Amino acid sequence: MQGGANGLAYRGRTASIGFAHGPFVRVDADAGGERVAGNLAEEALALRAAIETASGQIADLAGVAGGEAAQILEFQVALLDDEDFIETIFASIGEGNAADVAWRSALDAQIADYNSAEDEYLKARSSDLADLRDRVINVLRGGAGLPLKVPGGAIVCADDLPPSRFLEIDWSDGGGLALLRGSPTSHVAMLARARGIPMVVQLGAIPHAGTMALLDGEGATLELDPSGEQLRLFEKRREMHRKSRASARAILRRPTAFWRGERIKLLINIQRVEDLDHADAQYADGIGLMRTEFLLSERGGLPDEETQFRAYDAVMRWAGPRPVTIRTFDAGGDKPVAGFTIEGEANPFLGLRGLRLCLARPEIFAVQLRALARAAVRGNLKVMFPMVTSADELEAGRKLFADIVQRLRAEGIAAMLPELGIMVEVPAAALAIATFKAAFFSIGSNDLAQYVLACDRSNGALAPLMDPLHPAVLELIARTAEHGRRAGPSVSLCGDMASDPRCVPALLNCGLRELSVNAAALAQIKQTIDRLSSGGALG
């Protein structure tokens, strides 16, 4: 859609509702993927600096990880410190190769050499070299090392944006996200909704540069260098949106939501401790899902026990007597973490992720479990394992956890084993729900739908098929809710469906009485239940 004498306008699809008016900032698609090489001296300096940065990052990671992981990382540091090895790379730069090209070909040669070894142990080291190769290249491209420079309140425009890049941007002054490709069901869209940042995806090509932009997350439009008339209409739409939100917020102050005489518990999802600052958070019945992956994206590598304990404890103190469900690290899949997740999996969504990864990396998992065991004595804590397929995994996690509690107590540290539950997101778990001895279940409808429908949720081309209201998905939700009613464990749903008013009637009809939503959606969902309860139409 083009606006005649007006500024240019583009239409995409809504990923997160809201309005933003601010400077238009193009962010390169692939973190500066097309690196521009300088002269010989500049390239040598760039590599020298990148090696130093990478070396510091790895040393930090090693310090936190400890044990075998630290030894493996130490090998990477030693390699960066190997003058003979590094010298050949500088020689290659001297011959006119760009820093990243020279670095990559040297590392690739080493990797090929290790891979050709008979020795399994040496072969296994090649993945460490690949990790090192990619880390330095990322730094060279300005990726991992430097946070994105984006002015406050900006409309950030990119081809697509990985979650880690979203988290690097300072959104405290608002702003919006306009993606040329992308998908409303992607992980980054979820982050945007949780933070109340308007986001529009699939805008197609935007050949024009702009200075100022208007982003309407409801109408899914982006307008560049708007005319006075465009601005006036935009402000009118923003005002209408604000009024309808205000009436929803008035409902928040009313007592608990009821539907057909049954109490509906409304909890909130948080991605990080600061999400509790949202004005509506206080009206929640508790925290239905605290993700912990933010701890893995902090600078300085994997978080130590104290850092984790402080975060969990802050949330426990906020909640008081209300329940707090903390989910253990859900890394892997579309959430890679350097020094933790497995690189080069052909199909990471079906790979070593969630609890599978934690059980495979007990030295990292143990640190989190220690912090959680200590936080458990501070209030009503529940701990939830993600990506569980079989009851054996839950029991393996429980055993690790129980051992850790015992060890903490032996050290004279207050600790207890909290209630343990699982995410229901693997279809096998939903179908065999009765085999799990869990205190509670929380349905992760995003992944559940993705696995049941065989649709990659980050692939925009599949958006029409990616329907969480598909009868197969609803069937599994209903079976899980039914099991909870018969056998006793509580069942809630913490996926995006719970925050979507269009899905709420179906969820209630499936038998769910507990929903965990983004704080920004709490008012609207409560209003929706209120209207359904009084027999009104959906708002």
Partner 1 sequence: MLDKADEQIFNGSVRLVHAVGMHARPAVKLTKLAKRFQAHISVRVAGAPDWINAKSVAKIMAMRAAHGSTIEIKASGSDAEAAVEALVNLIATDFSDEAS
Mind telling me the catalytic residues?
187, 494
Which of 87, 173 has the CB closer to partner 1? 87
Q: How far apart are CA 80 and CA 87, in angstroms?
A: 11
Round to whole Å and give the CA distance between 143 and 140. Answer: 7
**Closest distance between partner 1 and the C-beta of residue 117, in Å?**
7
Smallest distance, partner 1 to C-beta of residue 72, A: 7
The CB-of-429 to partner 1 minimum distance in angstroms stands at: 38
Comparing CA positions, the residue from 135, 138, 136, 143 lying closest to residue 27 is 143
Q: Build a one-symbol-per-residue string for 363-402: x at contacts with partner 1 by CB under 8 A, - elsewhere.
A: ----------------------------------------
Q: Is 133 in the site for partner 1 (CB under 8 A)?
A: no
CB-CB neighbours of 335 under 10 Å: 21
H helix runs in 379-511, sequence order: 391-410, 427-431, 445-453, 471-487, 504-509
The yes or no reply on residue 108 touching partner 1 (CB under 8 A) is: no
Alpha-helical (H) ranges within 159-220 are 163-168, 187-195
Asked if 349 is part of the footprint of partner 1 (rule: CB under 8 A), the reply reads: no
Q: How far apart are CA 383 and CA 136, in angstroms?
A: 36
Q: State which residue, 85 or 318, has the beta carbon closest to partner 1.
A: 85
Which one of the spans 66-74, 192-200, 441-449, 474-482 is the region binding partner 1 (CB under 8 A)? 66-74
68 vs 298, beta carbon nearer partner 1: 68
Interface pattern 263-282 for partner 1 (x via CB under 8 A): --------------------
- Residue 115 interacting with partner 1 (CB under 8 A): no
Residue 125 sits in the site that holds partner 1 (CB under 8 A): yes
CB atoms closer than 10 angstroms to residue 411: 9
Helices (H) and strands (E) in the chain, counts: 17, 17
Pattern 496-525, partner 1, x by CB under 8 A: ------------------------------
The conformational region for residue 200 under phi > 0 = left, psi -120 to 50 = alpha, else beta, is beta
Q: Interface with partner 1 by CB under 8 A: which range of 116-124, 194-202, 246-254, 495-503?
A: 116-124
- Tell the smallest beta-carbon distance from residue 55 to partner 1 (Å): 13
**Identity of the residue, 81 or 262, whose beta carbon is nearer to partner 1 in the bound complex:** 81
Decide: helix, strand or coil at residue 13. strand
For residue 443, which of 424, 421, 415 has the smallest C-alpha distance? 424
Question: Cβ 104 to partner 1, closest distance in Å?
Answer: 16
Helices (H), 283-434: 305-319, 355-360, 362-376, 391-410, 427-431
Residue 275 is classified by DSSP as: G
- The token duo for 358 is 């934690």
Of 34, 95, 119, 411, which one interacts with partner 1 (CB under 8 A)?
Answer: 119
Site string for partner 1, 12-51 (x = CB under 8 A): ----------------------------------------
> CA-to-CA distance for 310 and 475, rounded, in angstroms?
40
The least CB distance from residue 102 to partner 1, in Å, is: 15
Site for partner 1 (CB under 8 A): which residue of 1, 121, 211, 321? 121
Residue 224 one-letter amino acid:
L
User: Of the two residues 121 and 260, which places its CB atom closer to partner 1 in the complex?
Assistant: 121
Between CA 80 and CA 370 the distance in angstroms is 33
Closer to partner 1 by CB, 125 or 165: give it. 125
Nearest to 523 by CA among 254, 236, 135: 254
β-strand pairing of 212-216 with 419-424: unpaired
Q: How far apart are CA 257 and CA 530, in angstroms?
A: 7
Which of left, alpha, beta for 306 (phi over 0: left; psi -120 to 50: alpha)?
alpha
3-class DSSP state for residue 289?
Answer: strand
> Please, which residue, 110 or 480, has the CB nearer to partner 1?
110
Q: Which is nearer to partner 1, 76 or 269 (CB)?
A: 76
Single-letter amino acid code for the residue at 408:
L
Tell whether residue 117 is a contact of partner 1 (CB under 8 A).
Answer: yes
CB 439 within 8 A of CB 421: yes
Q: Does 110 bind partner 1 (CB under 8 A)?
A: yes
Helix (H) or strand (E) holding 26: strand 19-26
Site string for partner 1, 69-88 (x = CB under 8 A): --xx-xx--xx-xxxxx---
Q: How far is the CB of 59 from partner 1 (least distance, A)?
A: 13
Number of chain positions touching partner 1 (CB under 8 A):
19
Least distance to partner 1 from the beta carbon of 99, Å? 19
Stretch that binds partner 1, among 117-125, 190-198, 266-274, 406-414 (CB under 8 A): 117-125
Nearer CB in complex with partner 1: 92/292: 92
How near is the Cβ of 103 to partner 1 at its closest, in Å?
Answer: 14
Nearest C-alpha neighbor of 418 from the set 536, 327, 307, 539: 327
Give contact residues for partner 1 (rule: CB under 8 A): 71-72, 74-75, 78-79, 81-85, 110, 113, 117, 119, 121-122, 125, 128
